[in-house]
Chain A
Amino acid sequence: MAKKSVWSDNRFWQRSAAWVTGFASILLIWLTFDTSVQIAMGTDADLQNGVTKRVPGPTVINYKITYEMSTARGHEVPVIGEKELFFGRDDYSEEEAGALLHLGKLGSQTKNCMNCHTLLGNGAYYAPDLTKAWLDPAWGPEGSMQAMTGKETKEEAMAEFLQHPSTYPTHARMMPNLGITAEEAKGLVAFLKHMSSIDTNGFPRNFGKIKGAVHGK
């Protein structure tokens, strides 16, 4: 009888498959514990003490957020700066800010944002990515979107747009009216502001930095 090679032996491959699958699964679970700690939401105390969290606490809406190049890490990171008014206040308590974020996150799901937009780059590709939408210059003081809604601040302009999206078309492709109430809009803007403060390892690259060079502007 010819000598049988281990390489064509079913038992060898069956045991290898079991080992590889089992060990990869254990590694994934271990990594999940490690990652879960790192992406747990921070607290108000963290923000006050300048502790950097990958996902800051909801009271980050009390602060100014920018997106700046970090030379150490080689990409842009969100930077939480001084206090900034959000719907006229900069003293939201942990509970108030948490409630707003809760409402906004619920709204982002029930209004089905993800089936047109991308959030953190995941979703549908029919409308702009919202990861850093809060930092989009178009909503800023000199931005076209803020001017279009006739509002004084970024958050009011965004909330106005969310409530009456088809009144303010920016393209032939418009956002439909989703019956978003004033309170829900406020929550959604808080959700967007919070999302812009998440450390996404430099995604998207060069967000809002490029102002010329295209179409001769």
Chain B
Amino acid sequence: MFEAMTDVVPSFFAWLNQGPLTLTIFLHTIIILPMFWIYKQEKARLESES
């Protein structure tokens, strides 16, 4: 699954880019995850309001 990095210049993002979709799945995940936290907060707020 992990392949040698072929980017000309090594960098943080190039390092994450080591196989099929590793980089993009990582970025998508860190964007989506905090939404769970927002969800929980809003759920608590709605429950306390009703």
B-binding residues in A (CB < 8 A): 1, 3-4, 6, 9, 11-12, 15-16, 19-20, 23-24, 27, 31, 34, 37-38, 52, 54, 72-74, 199
Task: Let me know if B31 is at the binding interface, CB within 8 A.
Answer: yes
Shortest beta-carbon distance from A96 to chain B in Å: 27
Docked pose: A37 CA to B12 CA in angstroms: 13
Query: Chain B's nearest CB lies how many Å from the CB of A48?
Result: 19
Complex: A158 Cα to B50 Cα, angstroms: 77
Q: CB < 8 Å: which of B6, B30, B43 contacts A6?
A: B43
17-39 of chain B: CB within 8 A of chain A: 27, 30-31, 34-35, 38-39
Q: Residues of B contacting A12 with CB < 8 Å?
A: 38-39, 42
> Are A9 and B8 in contact, with the CB atoms below 8 A?
no
Q: Is the CB of B31 within 8 A of A6?
A: no
The total of interchain contacts (Cβ-Cβ below 8 angstroms) comes to 47
- Per the CB 8 Å criterion, the residue count for chain B at the interface is 19
B35 and A19: CB pair below 8 A? yes
Chain B residues positioned under 8 Å from A20 (CB to CB): 31, 35
A24-B50 contact in complex given A19-B38, A34-B13, A38-B8, C-beta closer than 8 Å = no
Residues of chain B whose beta carbon lies under 8 Å from any beta carbon of chain A: 4, 6, 8-9, 11-13, 27, 30-31, 34-35, 38-39, 42-43, 45-46, 50
Is B31 a contact of A23 with CB atoms below 8 Å?
yes
Q: How far apart are the CA atoms of A19 and B50 in the complex, in Å?
A: 26
Residues in B neighbouring A54, C-beta threshold 8 A: 8-9
CB-CB nearest 7 A-B residue pairs: A12-B42, A73-B6, A38-B9, A6-B43, A6-B42, A15-B38, A34-B11
Contact yes or no, A3 B50, CB < 8 A: yes
A1-B50, A9-B46, A72-B6 given. 18 additional CB < 8 A pairs? A3-B50, A4-B46, A6-B43, A9-B42, A11-B45, A12-B38, A12-B39, A15-B42, A16-B35, A16-B38, A19-B35, A19-B38, A23-B31, A31-B13, A34-B13, A38-B9, A72-B4, A199-B8
